[in-house]
């Protein structure tokens, strides 16, 4: 029997190139009170359809979202941005995102509250949040390779539980969770995370992904996925920008219990490794650049803070210059 602790319902969305998967069918069945949007791409079957799901083809996206949908590259995970803009335009009170290979547990979208009780990570700098959910040798995709051993030998301490206002919350995924190609090429294991709630705050960074994440309106500008970076870095670099902008507003980032089981779609691990190389080489530098920015603490300036972050990353030649056109269109659409 499903839990009944939902305090708010909004929009859940994915992008896919596959026919309706087990995950899609179960979300549609289990979450009938949520608006469920699926964003198609050029490889998505032309006859894609499933009861309870709003499917947007490329033509639908352009008709409903306009110039941003025209300019956003196809064959890229960043098409998900179009779903965000549609949900924002429809004034969704909360946006949840996942992927088509994440099988929802009965707990999926059943405890959706912006305010939550959690324990704070007390260490500054890079934080391997997975160490607070399992004793396994594991780290999140985007965590600096050179810091993995230290993070596992000396997990950071957690403070006493407190109540926090968290406009972005990352729920974990069991099974084959969000790890990098180095992990998958060297370790063969399935993971079962222990329930926990951890927040990280200004001065502390941990990558978060787009697999099982919830955003509230104050953080909607931070949903933006860069479209001219690799598939394996788009949500990771988004997460660094989002954390810096959250911290400017004085808000923490929450990591929470697993509510999905990932049965991963087929990937080439060597191709994943190639796509992750820019992160292995640049992630620590990205944080240094973002930490060096002077951003507004006014939540109304969140979108402008986002723009300043991308201007800095473009200036550092980490993100390609053509990204700025899309960032500007994103801010205009908001």
Is the CB of residue 297 less than 8 Å from the CB of residue 213?
no
- Average pLDDT of the residues in 302-330: 98
What pLDDT, on a 0 to 100 scale, did the predictor assign at position 266? 75
Lowest mean pLDDT among 154-163, 220-229, 265-274, 294-303: 265-274
Residues in the chain, total: 334
Q: Which residue has the tokens 């026919």?
A: 19
Alpha carbon 21 to its chain centroid, in Å, reads 20
What pLDDT, on a 0 to 100 scale, did the predictor assign at position 101? 94
Is the CB of residue 154 less than 8 Å from the CB of residue 233?
no
Phi, psi of 181 (to 5 degrees): -65, -30
> For residue 7, what pLDDT band results from cuts at 50, 70 and 90?
low
In this structure, the strands spanning 204-205 and 168-175 are unpaired
The yes-or-no verdict on residue 3 having pLDDT over 60 is no
Alpha carbon 260 to its chain centroid, in Å, reads 14
Domain-wise residue ranges, the chain: 102-333
> For residue 292, what pLDDT band results from cuts at 50, 70 and 90?
very high
> 100-153, pLDDT tens digit by residue?
999 999 999 999 999 999 999 999 999 999 999 999 999 999 999 999 999 999
The yes-or-no verdict on residue 6 having pLDDT over 80 is no
> 17-30, pLDDT tens digit by residue?
999 999 999 999 99
> For residue 291, what pLDDT band results from cuts at 50, 70 and 90?
very high
> 226-245, pLDDT tens digit by residue?
999 999 999 999 999 999 99
> 209-222, pLDDT tens digit by residue?
999 999 999 999 99
What's the rounded Cα separation, in Å, for the pair 78 and 228? 9
What pLDDT, on a 0 to 100 scale, did the predictor assign at position 1? 36
Mean pLDDT score of the chain, rounded to an integer? Answer: 95
pTM of the model: 0.95
- Average pLDDT of the residues in 246-251: 98
What's the rounded Cα separation, in Å, for the pair 220 and 245? 11
Is the CB of residue 67 less than 8 Å from the CB of residue 119?
no
H helices, E strands: number in the chain: 10, 13
Is the CB of residue 20 less than 8 Å from the CB of residue 44?
no
3-state secondary structure of 199: strand
């Amino acid at each position: 029997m499903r839990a009944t602790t939902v305090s708010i319902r909004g929009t859940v969305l994915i992008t896919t190139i596959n026919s309706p998967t087990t995950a899609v069918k179960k979300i549609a069945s289990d979450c009938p009170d949520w608006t469920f949007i699926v964003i198609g791409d050029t490889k998505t079957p032309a006859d894609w359809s499933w009861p309870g799901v709003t499917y947007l083809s490329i033509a639908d996206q352009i008709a409903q979202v306009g110039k941003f949908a025209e300019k956003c590259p196809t064959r890229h995970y960043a098409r998900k941005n179009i779903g965000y803009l549609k949900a924002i335009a429809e004034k969704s009170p909360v946006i949840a995102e996942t992927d088509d290979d994440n099988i929802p547990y009965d707990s999926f979208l059943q405890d959706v509250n912006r305010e939550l009780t959690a324990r704070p990570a007390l260490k500054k700098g890079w934080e391997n949040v997975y160490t607070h959910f399992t004793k396994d040798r594991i780290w999140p995709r985007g965590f600096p390779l050179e810091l993995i051993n230290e993070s596992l030998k000396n997990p950071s301490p957690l403070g006493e539980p407190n109540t926090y206002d968290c406009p972005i919350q990352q729920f974990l995924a069991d099974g084959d969770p969000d790890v990098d190609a180095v992990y998958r090429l060297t370790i063969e294991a399935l993971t079962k995370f222990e329930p926990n709630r951890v927040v990280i705050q200004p001065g502390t960074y941990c990558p978060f992904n787009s697999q099982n994440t919830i955003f509230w309106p104050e953080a909607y500008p931070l949903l933006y996925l860069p479209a001219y970076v690799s598939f394996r870095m788009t949500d990771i670099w988004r997460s660094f920008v989002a954390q810096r902008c959250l911290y400017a507003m004085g808000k923490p980032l929450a990591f929470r219990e697993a509510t999905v089981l990932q049965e991963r779609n087929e990937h080439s691990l060597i191709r994943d490794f190639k796509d992750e190389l820019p992160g292995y080489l640049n992630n620590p530098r990205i944080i240094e650049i973002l930490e060096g920015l002077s951003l507004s603490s006014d939540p109304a300036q969140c979108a402008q803070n986002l723009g300043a972050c991308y201007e800095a990353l473009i200036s550092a030649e980490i993100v390609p210059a053509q990204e700025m056109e899309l960032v500007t269109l994103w801010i205009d659409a908001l």
